[in-house]
């Protein structure tokens, strides 16, 4: 196929489109998105279904024939921007839509890997991304592809040409706001809504969840997640989040953090949007006594109004940067002869939580990493049982001449037992597959004052490994008991997402560059391929021309090289990159 480029000039971006390409259908509907997990011929949502299970019904590829999985094509994102490729691709109608670092998005021919168009945001000077220049993915609906940029803008593109259809500002990038998550599209009484959060928790921004009309980008509702702030609905003030000063002292709530930087999931059965909220600001917890709601929490929101249905705080009065943004995955829990509409999350704080997704009621929590120091466990009420002396010291109580409080060694580190990288749930095995890390940190508090656009931490830290032979650990967890059924140990930290399939496989990538597949029941490694750079993206699978395909982006980066302390030193020579890889199981060897 020959492609002839057409240049579309845009005020703040570049789109290069092909004059020929796949025969484009009208585009997926909201009903198509809701049925995404059951349609093996496409990948329409971040999470392979709005519930975020990352389970594919495809069973052609299995542990016996996976030896025949071969590369079909590889596409380079090009240029010098070769780092931090954390995206999950979207696959539809013979096209792959994949975002890349520095706020870029590409449309590729799914059969050949040839570029159809690209769009690159023209980022201004002075952007303030906390944790590398990453982008985790886009969203698709009808004739549009949506994605966000590091200068806190949301863009809608024509999915056939890459032409900009609309662009909206989420907030001020020079105040610390940015955007890197994949948008979420949900149904509502007024039609589909495009739902987003925002990044910037280390700059004292206040997190919020917002819904927009996907046709024109106009704001429908906005819900701040920190108590005391007013929501908006149809351009007018709606209701306050919580009660002012109920769990925040003075004016601390005004710069209270709680960034909603990972994006959310949607459960059609309860008609609920689930979002996680980030750390309270600043990190120095002595400046803000109280639970600091709703930081480090999981929230359920009404898609029609943005009202909070329920909240569950995993780390009240967080003093370790144990962000609560990790994805909340809906599933049906079978326990004691009953089936409960549940949801699970593997928190940065090192505990694996199961909640009743209809009410937010706490069901259970079990440690999924070893040697946790900050808490002795989780009580029957779902609140942590704090360890005496486990919190870094108050700098106000430091000895004369000292500027920092007492340092403590805390496990896990602030990069978490699990960070952003999404886990997967298998409907076959009933297990969650959790990409985790075993590490700790020296952490201490310092004095701090808020300044717009400046880092708002009030803490210092150094991350250290706690085992000699591994940091990364892919764990298969039984949500009914918290039992770890099997574990794969990796020398370097794991920082990429997980995929599981009806063929009994689990896929994930490593910083060493390998895409690996494991037996979902036993953890046996059954296949690997080196992509040339560390994998920190999320793999997908789809059916194309009667064959099963697997895709993943490759390109080492993210928070670990930037914030990893002693750990970062040990992996400083890992190769950066920027590639989309596609693999296929040829028909003639599928049965071998």
Written as six digits, the tokens of 576 are: 């950066």
Q: What is the CATH number of the domain that holds 444?
A: 2.140.10.10
For the segment 492-524, what is each residue's pLDDT rounded down to a tens digit?
999 999 999 999 999 999 999 999 999 999 999
Q: In which residue are the tokens 């703040």 written? A: 12
List residues bridging with 440 in a β-sheet. Answer: 464
Cβ atoms of residues 423 and 498 within 8 Å: yes
Residue 116 · residue 103 · CB < 8 Å: no
Cα–Cα separations (whole angstroms), residue 43 to 11, 52, 244:
30, 12, 42
What is the arithmetic mean of pLDDT over 108-119? 98
Q: What is the mean pLDDT of residues 480-501?
A: 98
pLDDT of 303 above 70: yes
Sign of CA dihedral 574, 579, 582, 583: negative
Give CA angle at 420 (515, 132), nearest 5°: 85
Q: Flag whether the pTM goes above 0.85.
A: yes
Q: What is the pLDDT of residues 559-580, one digit of tens each?
A: 998 888 888 888 888 989 999 9
Q: What is the dihedral of CA 327, 333, 335, 337, to 10 degrees?
A: 170
Q: Report the 10 Å Cβ neighbour count for 385.
A: 9
CA 508/CA 518 separation, integer angstroms: 9
The pair of three-digit structure tokens given for residue 337, joined into one six-digit string:
């002869």
For 568, the 3-state DSSP assignment is: helix
Segment 351-367 mean pLDDT? 98
Tokens coding 477:
């967890």
> Mean per-residue pLDDT for 193-206?
94
Q: Residue 450: name the closest of 208, 202, 225, 207 by CA.
A: 202
Q: Range of 66's domain?
A: 5-589
Residues taking part in catalysis: 321
Number of domains into which the chain is organized? 1
Strands 139-141 and 115-121, by their bridges, are unpaired
Residue 338 pLDDT: 92
């Amino acid at each position: 196929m020959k492609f002839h480029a057409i240049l579309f000039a845009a005020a703040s971006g570049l789109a290069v489109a092909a004059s020929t390409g796949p025969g484009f259908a009208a585009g997926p509907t909201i009903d198509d998105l809701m049925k995404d997990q059951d349609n093996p011929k496409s990948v329409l949502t971040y999470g392979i279904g709005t519930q975020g299970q990352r389970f594919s019904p495809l069973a052609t590829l299995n542990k016996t024939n996976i030896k025949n999985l071969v590369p079909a094509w590889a596409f380079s994102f090009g240029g010098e921007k070769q780092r931090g490729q954390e995206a999950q691709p979207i696959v539809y109608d013979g096209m792959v839509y994949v975002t890349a670092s520095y706020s870029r998005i590409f449309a590729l021919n799914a059969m050949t890997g040839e570029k159809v168009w690209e769009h690159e945001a023209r980022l201004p000077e002075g952007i303030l991304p906390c944790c590398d220049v990453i982008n985790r993915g886009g969203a698709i609906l009808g004739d549009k592809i949506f994605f966000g940029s590091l200068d806190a803008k949301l863009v809608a593109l024509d999915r056939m040409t890459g032409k900009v259809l609309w662009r909206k500002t989420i907030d001020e990038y020079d105040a610390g706001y940015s955007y890197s998550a994949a948008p979420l599209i949900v149904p509502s009484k007024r039609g589909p809504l495009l739902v987003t959060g925002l990044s910037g928790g280390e700059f004292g921004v206040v997190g919020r969840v917002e819904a927009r009309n996907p046709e024109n980008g106009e704001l429908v509702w906005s819900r701040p997640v920190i108590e005391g702030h007013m929501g908006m609905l149809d351009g007018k003030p709606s209701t306050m989040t919580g009660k002012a000063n109920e769990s925040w002292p003075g004016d601390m709530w005004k710069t209270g953090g709680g960034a909603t930087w990972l994006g959310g999931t949607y459960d059609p059965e309860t008609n609920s949007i689930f979002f996680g909220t980030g750390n309270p600001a600043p990190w120095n917890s002595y400046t803000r006594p109280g639970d600091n709601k709703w930081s480090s929490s999981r929230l359920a929101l009404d898609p029609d109004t943005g009202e909070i249905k329920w909240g569950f705080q995993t780390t009240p009065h967080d003093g370790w940067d144990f962000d609560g943004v990790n994805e909340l995955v809906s599933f049906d829990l079978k326990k004691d002869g009953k089936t409960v509409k549940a949801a699970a999350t593997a928190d940065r704080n090192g505990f694996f939580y199961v909640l009743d997704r209809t009410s937010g009621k706490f069901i259970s929590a079990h440690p999924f990493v070893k040697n946790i120091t900050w808490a002795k466990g989780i009580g029957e009420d779902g609140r942590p049982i704090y360890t005496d002396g486990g919190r870094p010291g108050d700098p106000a109580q430091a000895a004369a001449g000292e500027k920092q409080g007492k340092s403590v060694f805390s496990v896990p580190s602030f990069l978490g037992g699990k960070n952003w990288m999404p886990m997967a749930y298998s409907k076959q095995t009933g297990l969650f597959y959790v990409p985790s890390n075993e590490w700790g940190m020296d952490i201490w508090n310092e004095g701090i004052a808020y300044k717009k656009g400046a880092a708002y931490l009030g803490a210092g830290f150094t991350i250290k490994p706690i085992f000699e032979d591994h940091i990364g650990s892919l764990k298969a967890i039984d949500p009914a008991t918290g039992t770890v059924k099997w574990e794969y140990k990796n020398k370097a930290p794991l920082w990429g997402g997980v995929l599981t399939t009806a063929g009994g496989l689990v896929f994930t990538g490593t910083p060493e560059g390998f895409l690996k597949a494991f037996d979902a029941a036993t953890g046996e490694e059954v296949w690997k391929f080196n992509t040339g750079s560390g994998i920190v993206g999320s793999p997908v699978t789809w059916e194309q021309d009667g064959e099963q395909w697997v895709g993943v982006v490759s390109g080492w980066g993210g928070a670990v090289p930037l914030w990893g302390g002693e750990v970062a030193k040990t992996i400083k020579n890992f190769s950066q990159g920027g590639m989309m890889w596609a693999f296929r199981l040829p028909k003639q060897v599928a049965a071998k």
